Amino acid sequence: MGHGKLKKFAENETFRCLLQPDASAILNKEPGSRELRLKDHAIKGRWGADMFGNDHPIVLELGCGKGDYTIALAQRNPDINYIGVDIKGARLWKGAKFATEHALPNVAFLRTRIEFIDAFFGPQEVSEIWLTFSDPQLRGSENSRLSSPLFLERYRHFLKADGIVHLKTDSRYLYEYTKAVVEVNALHVVVAEEDIYAHRDRVPAEVTQVQTFYEKMFLEMGLPITYMAFGLAHEGPYAFPGEAFDHERWLEAEGPRRSFSHQPTKKM
Ligand SMILES: C[S@@+](CC[C@H](N)C(=O)[O-])C[C@H]1O[C@@H](n2cnc3c(N)ncnc32)[C@H](O)[C@@H]1O
């Protein structure tokens, strides 16, 4: 590991706004078994009291990278608390350092795998979720997509009944996949737009006014940016889209991005 990364990891330990739990804080080993079970973290249901010292609404950015959306939205909306979540410590360092240096009281970051997210948030604790330029997981398991029924089930445990999920992505594949999940479960769609910069009037202002690190890169490549906002209210388990989603068609439409696979070309 490079010296720069080690320095960032050491500095991460000093940021009050950054929670980096050990695996032991969320994973239990069953006696006599090799199986690990997810357990609740101490902050679950207590973000308002323990991290922010208020009961303002909480909004998550999942896969926040350097936390561009988290920071920008927090600066615009001081009465809302924002939490950026990512597994990469060196990226989170940038957002946590900025929030610390600018004494932003409504910003926090959580370093964890999103697969473990419901260990950290209690019922009705979160008002909105942003999925910003999530890796589309074109060929991997459907369950690894952050808008798959498996992840929606996790989010449902802590999103308010009238809460909203925002998906902003350059990946037409991920947009169409999410649309298929939303349709097959008859979820409420607030907005679904295939090219936000061609139709700025159809999306909330902050969708075009805030651009993340990855978004800037994709815009330079001339890619249209899509956006969808939807609710999660649904009786019973979420269904998978199955053949209602034309995997081959949208994989084809991904074009050169299939090999790009969200690996950055610039130094991170
Ligand atoms: C393509 S980047 C986008 C970063 C940022 N949202 C942006 O637009 O600049 C995807 C981010 O999601 C994070 N990520 C992907 N899958 C994850 C998972 N299962 N758990 C935690 N973080 C994840 C990666 O570490 C990476 O920082």
Task: Kindly report, residue by residue over 16-54, the tens digit of the pLDDT.
Answer: 999 999 999 999 988 888 888 999 999 999 999 999 999
Distance from the alpha carbon of residue 65 to the mean position of ligand 1, in angstroms:
5
Domain definitions of the chain by residue range: 3-18+39-260
* Alpha carbons 140 and 199: distance in angstroms, whole number: 32
The DSSP string of 36-101 is EEE---TTTT-IIIIIISS---EEEEET-TTTHHHHHHHHH-TTSEEEEEES-HHHHHHHHHHHHH
Distance from the alpha carbon of residue 241 to the mean position of ligand 1, in angstroms:
24
Describe the strand order of the beta sheet including 226-230 as a list of residue ranges: 18-19, 107-111, 81-86, 58-62, 126-132, 159-169, 226-230, 189-193
Fold classified for 3-18+39-260: Rossmann fold (3.40.50)
Closest approach atom of ligand 1 to CA 112: 21
How crowded is the C-beta side of 201, counted as CA atoms within 13 Å?
0
Q: Which tens digits make up the pLDDT trace of 199-211? A: 999 999 999 999 9
- Which of 5, 24, 252, 265 is CA-nearest to residue 138? 252
What are the beta bridge partners of residue 36?
Answer: 29
Taking CA atoms only, the protein residue closest to ligand 1 atom 11 is 63
**What pLDDT is stored for residue 263 in this prediction?**
44
**What pLDDT is stored for residue 19 in this prediction?**
98
Q: Annotated catalytic residue: which of 50, 68, 79, 135?
A: 135
pLDDT band at 266 (very low <50, low <70, confident <90, very high): very low
- CB-CB contact of 136 with 171 (8 Å): yes
Strand, coil or helix: what is 187? coil
135 is catalytic: yes
Percent of the chain residues topping a pLDDT of 90:
86
- Inform me whether the pLDDT recorded for 268 exceeds 60: no
- Inform me whether the pLDDT recorded for 139 exceeds 50: yes
Mean pLDDT of all residues in 224-239: 97
Query: How big is the CA angle at 145 (ends 139 and 146), to the nearest 5 degrees?
Result: 165
Percent of the chain residues topping a pLDDT of 70:
95
pLDDT band at 144 (very low <50, low <70, confident <90, very high): very high
* Alpha carbons 152 and 232: distance in angstroms, whole number: 7
**What pLDDT is stored for residue 53 in this prediction?**
98
Bigger pLDDT: 136 vs 192: 192
Bigger pLDDT: 126 vs 264: 126
SS3 content of the chain, % helix, strand, coil (to 5): 40, 20, 45
Mean pLDDT of the chain: 93
- CB-CB contact of 142 with 148 (8 Å): yes
Q: Which tens digits make up the pLDDT trace of 93-127? A: 999 999 999 999 999 999 999 999 999 999 999 99
Taking CA atoms only, the protein residue closest to ligand 1 atom 27 is 65
DSSP H or E run through 215: helix 213-220
Distance from the alpha carbon of residue 268 to the mean position of ligand 1, in angstroms:
12
